[in-house]
Structure 1
Amino acid sequence: MSDGTTIEWTDATWNPITGCSVVSPGCTNCYAMKLAGTRLKHHESRSGLTKESKSGPVWTGEVRFNEQWLEQPLRWTKPRMIFVCAHGDLFAEGVPDEWIDQVFAVMALAPQHTFQVLTKRPERMREYLTAASRQSDIAAAGVCIGQSPSHQFLMRSESWPLPNVWLGVSVEDQKRADERIPILLDTPAAIRWISAEPLLGPVDISRWTASAKVTCKKCSHDFWLHDANPCQHEDYGGGWTLACPICGGCRCKRAWTAADERTVAFEPPQDWIDRKVGRFDKVHPTIEIKSLIDWVVAGGESGPGARPMHPDWARSLRDQCKAAAVPFLFKQWGEWWEVGSEMRDENGKHLVVDADSHEASELWDEHFDCLITHDGRRFTPETLPEDTLGRLMSRIGKRAAGRLLDGIEHDAFPVTGR
């Protein structure tokens, strides 16, 4: 735990719970896992949480409640952003609800802070936060914690979901994005965010960056506009209006009602509405179109064994966020950096260098470089398949690689009404 951290998107870390298990490719080179099995392996908060393997320390799945650190945020009076369970997962399989209740109680009792929760287990997070008794359980846990004037607010319904708690999921590739983001969106939260770090593949989040939730009065199902089908009735525009993906209901102008529970985050341009929604918004102007994701953090991997990030993966997320007015923070390149990133053609686009060319041979360093394709495969100039494009990456270290994306530092955060 640290009041002060080098993590670019937070101010402090808080580890009331440590320990975890490997659940997806993003866990392979986990910094917290390696640290728990090396420098901190004899510390009471980490001892026994990892085991040795051929690739180094690996989480055992055991978790630990560090009660000595539980009330630390209550002693920090200056407001700050706090990364919760930076060396574990608050919603890991072995963590009892009672531990999570105490963590949420502290967050409720410290409204001056912003708590950033990040998990790879959104199913558990949703189950926990939608339980009928959750507020009363948290309030009961908070009674015995510290002395705070905020105790009186623990049971107030208008304080739920907690306005100072941001809930996020890790999405290192498209598979994890498709699995985790919909569950995050189905979880009550003041701010919902995603961390695409380490970014291990291209990720398209456009279906979640602007949409609205509606109810079909024909079958009573709720669904997001981005899941709707085009209307097939030629006498009513044929494809210009939308149809319920469950029952196909579409013709009645009163067949839909707005059911989005949150505030409009931005006003999309008219051409976006025309392209995405057709004439639906003109028939029902009360439907709110908004970003379902409030913040995106992206970055490459650092540390021993770090895998390179194709530059266009980060650029794509940046551009998707810009198009939808979603705050974007580029955390780091990681160990690898794009060689020749400043090389552009006459149109300002990144210059493509033939792997067999003289220019490529001058840039190539066999000890530090690799060619990475858009789908994440790595090659040398000799092994790169014909007619396959690879971006030249060099392992120069996190500090040297920096965090500028096309010469710009992206440091945007969500704007909250707190």
Structure 2
Amino acid sequence: MTLHPERLEEPLRWRTPSRVFVNSMSDLFHDDVPLDFIRQVFSVIHSTPWHIYQILTKRQSRLGDLASQLDFPENIWLGVSVENQNHIDRIEYLRTVPVSVRFISCEPLLGPLELNLTSIDWVIVGGESGQKHRQMKLDWARDIRDQCQNSGVAFFFKQVGGRTPKAAGRLLDDKIWDEMPNAWNQHIQKWGSVPLKSARRSEKLELIA
């Protein structure tokens, strides 16, 4: 594992309010990532309140262990990956962390899920892509969408999946589902007169390889 502290200041140069995905190909809460480095990441997040930072983890135990030692700024959206019912316990760890937005990423969705959405703000669903992808059943995605609607939780359908991410498109029941947590529009309204379309720009901050 290689850390890239030289990239930490990149968000300071992004002046348009953006959603920043931190470590899309790795995990900030991996056991080998020092607590001091995580604190450096959080310091940058504190210093750039015009961005929203999405942090996704599969390391729920370490997240739980470190949560009391970290100061979570308002512009962190924290999520856990839940691919099937075997990983449902990750949500319980997420619920204990004091963040403004909690989200669940069901990508790739590998089976049906029965979710307790208490204190959850956003659910992302997507099928697997790649040459050896495992096919997602649309009924699994529909059921999660319905659970979100019944609980008042924003639902985002990323892709059906296939050999490539765009192979089967993004439609679920003839509709694109791009719902966002209420906190996103509130954030844009707070941080300037940037047109909403422009402010929906996404960035990636890859700090671990």
* TM-score bin (small chain): 0.7 to 0.9
Number of matched residues? 185
Among 152, 160, 164, the alignment partner of 1:325 is 152
SS at match of 1:297: strand
Query: Equivalent residues in 2 for 1:11-410 (5 A)?
Result: 63-131=1-69, 134-135=70-71, 161-177=72-88, 179-205=89-115, 208-209=116-117, 291-335=118-162, 397-410=164-177
* Matched residue, 1:58: none
Deviation at 1:122, TM superposition (A): 1.5
Unaligned runs of 5+ in 1: 1-62, 136-160, 210-290, 336-394
* Matched residue, 2:180: 413
SS at match of 1:292: coil
* Matched residue, 2:198: none
Deviation at 1:129, TM superposition (A): 1.9
Structure 2 CA distance for aligned equivalents of residues 188 and 122 of structure 1: 14
Amino acid at match of 2:143: S
Post-superposition Cα deviations, 1:51-96, rounded to whole Å, max 9, x if no partner, equal: xxxxxxxxxxxx2111221110011111000000112100001101
Unaligned runs of 5+ in 2: 188-209
Structure 2 CA distance for aligned equivalents of residues 110 and 412 of structure 1: 24
Structure 2 CA distance for aligned equivalents of residues 302 and 103 of structure 1: 30
Structure 1 runs (4+) deviating above 2 angstroms are 397-400
Identity %: 45
Amino acid at match of 2:123: V
Deviation at 1:298, TM superposition (A): 0.3
Amino acid at match of 1:171: V
Native 8 Å contact 1:130 1:188 kept in 2:
no
Structure 2 CA distance for aligned equivalents of residues 117 and 294 of structure 1: 14
Structure 1 CA distance for aligned equivalents of residues 64 and 107 of structure 2: 22
Structure 2 CA distance for aligned equivalents of residues 398 and 186 of structure 1: 33
Deviation at 1:400, TM superposition (A): 3.5
Higher relative contact order (CA 8 A, sep 6+): 2
Structure 2 CA distance for aligned equivalents of residues 408 and 104 of structure 1: 37
Post-superposition Cα deviations, 1:247-294, rounded to whole Å, max 9, x if no partner, equal: xxxxxxxxxxxxxxxxxxxxxxxxxxxxxxxxxxxxxxxxxxxx4110
SS at match of 2:178: coil
Native 8 Å contact 2:94 2:102 kept in 1:
yes
Structure 1 CA distance for aligned equivalents of residues 147 and 153 of structure 2: 8
Deviation at 1:176, TM superposition (A): 0.3
SS at match of 2:182: coil
Greater share of helix residues, 1 or 2? 2
Instruction: Note the aligned Cα RMSD (angstroms).
Output: 1.3
Structure 2 CA distance for aligned equivalents of residues 71 and 126 of structure 1: 27
* TM-score scaled by length of structure 2: 0.85
Deviation at 1:112, TM superposition (A): 0.2
Amino acid at match of 1:116: Q
Amino acid at match of 1:72: E
Structure 1 CA distance for aligned equivalents of residues 80 and 166 of structure 2: 26
Structure 2 CA distance for aligned equivalents of residues 331 and 321 of structure 1: 15
* TM-score scaled by length of structure 1: 0.43
Q: Greater Rg, structure 1 or structure 2?
A: 1
Native 8 Å contact 1:167 1:193 kept in 2:
yes
Amino acid at match of 2:9: E
